[in-house]
Amino acid sequence: MQILCVAAHLLTLKSILNLKLGGQYISMVTIKEQLAQNTETEEKETGRIEAFSDGVFSIAITLLVLDMKVPHPADVEQGSLISELLKQWPVYLAFFASFFFILVLWINHHRLFTAIRRSDNNLMLLNGLLLLGVILVPFPTSLVSQYLLQRDQMTAILIYNGLFFLISLVFNFLWWYASYRNRLFNAGTDRQLVAFITRQYAFGPPLYLVTFILAFVNPMASLLLSIIMAIFFALPNKAVQQLTDASDSSGTEQSSSN
C-alpha cells in the first residue's frame, strides 16, 4: 500500500514539473538546463576569438626580439663590448617602437571585445585581417632596424608606417561593424557614447597616413611621430572605459538574473 502511495505521489510530481508545449511535454529541468546553456554560450561567444587573438599578439610581440643579436667575441675589441652594443641602437629603437605599437593595439583590441557580446562570420573575418597585419609587424621592424640611417631608410620606413596605416584602417572597420546600431553590442548600449568613440577612433587612419607621407620628406621624423602616436593611443580613454564598464555591469546583471 505504501508503495502505491509513493508511486502516486511521483506521478503527481511529474505532472507538475512538466509543461505541455506544442503537443510535446517539456521538463522544467530541461528548460532550466537549456537556459543555463544559452547563458553560458552568450557569455563565452567571443571567448575563442579573444583567445586566438591573444595568441597571435603574443607570438608577434615575441618575434620582435629576434633582431637583437649578441656581438661575436671576434668582432669585439678588448673592453669595447659596450660600444658594440651601442652601435645597435637602431635595432633597439625599432624593437621598442613596434613592441609598444603591438601592446597598445592589444589594449584597444581588449577594450573593443569587452564591449562586444556576440560574434558572426564578418566579425571573425575582420578580426583575422587585423591579426594578419599584427603578425606582419616583425618584418618591417627588421627592415627599419637594418636600414635606418642607410641609403634606403625611406623605403624601410614607408613600408613600416604603411603597415601601421593599414592596421588602423582594419581596426576602424572592425569597430564600425561591431558598433553599428549596436549590432554586436548589448541592446541597451548608449549609442551616443558609441558614436563619440567612433569619431575618436576615426582620427587614427588620417594620422598614420600623415606619418606615411612624412617619410618622403623626413624618414626619422616619420618614425618618431609614429612612436608618439602609439603613446597617445595608449592613454586612458574615459569614453571607452565608460562603455566597457557598462558592458561588464550589464553582463553581470544578466548572469545574476539567470
CA 80 → CA 60, 75, 137, 158, 171, distances in Å?
A: 32, 10, 32, 34, 45
pTM of the model: 0.75
The pLDDT of 94-107, averaged and rounded, is 93
Task: Give the residue with greater pLDDT, 111 vs 35.
Answer: 111
Exposed/middle/buried for residue 164 (C-beta within 10 Å: 0-12, 13-18, 19+)? buried
pLDDT at site 138: 96
Q: What's the mean pLDDT when you consider all of the chain?
A: 79
